[in-house]
Amino acid sequence: MERVAALVEKLTIQLAEKADKSQLKQTAVQLLAALSETDQFNNLPNNVSVMIPGGEEVAEVRIPSLPKLEPVEINATITNTELQEKLALDPIKDLKAGIGTNDKFQFIASLFGGDEKAFEQAIKTINGFKIYAEAQFWIKSNLREQYKWDDTEEVVKAFDLLVKRRFA
């Protein structure tokens, strides 16, 4: 009810200062929204008339009925796996920025034989390609052959997914 009282006071001040209709309308909408949040005021009319002192003008504000929103429990609607799958498909603009620190060290150790410079050069080269097919061809003909990557390993699949996201 404190919010309602504050909005009523604001509306009174705006009326005294002869504020324009848009300001009055905005305050009236905020007031009705605050009133609709309390259970006491569920059956409010959908319009409000504001009379400017001196009786010169009446501004009528029509307020659409606000829908009742049911609370949603996030954990009940989105599972951790679904969230991971959705995030895994989000595009990334820069492959270097899209690779986390842990993944970077895992890629260097597992895919590049511990050679950090080779990893950095490969990421720079992949970022330079315009389309996924070019990057895929280069990875297959250079990295997979040179470092003898096993396509069934999870770390290889994770790297491939990041490259795919780079061109999504």
Q: What are the tens digits of pLDDT across the range 37-46?
A: 655 545 555 5
- For residues 76 and 164, give the distance between their C-alpha atoms in angstroms, rounded to a whole number: 30
Confidence of residue 2 (pLDDT cuts 50, 70, 90): confident
Q: How far apart are CA 67 and CA 35, in angstroms?
A: 14
Distance CA 18, CA 51 (A): 11
Type and span of the H or E element at 119 = helix 116-128
How confident is the model at residue 69, as a pLDDT? 56
- The more confidently predicted of residues 58 and 33 is 33
Residue 152 is predicted with a pLDDT of 93
- pTM for this entry: 0.50
pLDDT at 168 over 80: yes
Residue 24 and residue 132: Cα distance in Å, rounded? 55
| pLDDT band with cut points at 50, 70 and 90 for residue 7 | confident
Q: Give the Å distances, CA to CA, from 110 to 74, 91, 150, 166.
A: 36, 24, 11, 21
Confidence label for 27 from pLDDT (cuts 50, 70 and 90): confident
Structure confidence by residue, pLDDT tens digits, 67-124: 555 555 555 455 556 655 655 667 888 999 999 999 999 999 999 999 999 999 999 9
* H-run or E-run covering 5: helix 2-16
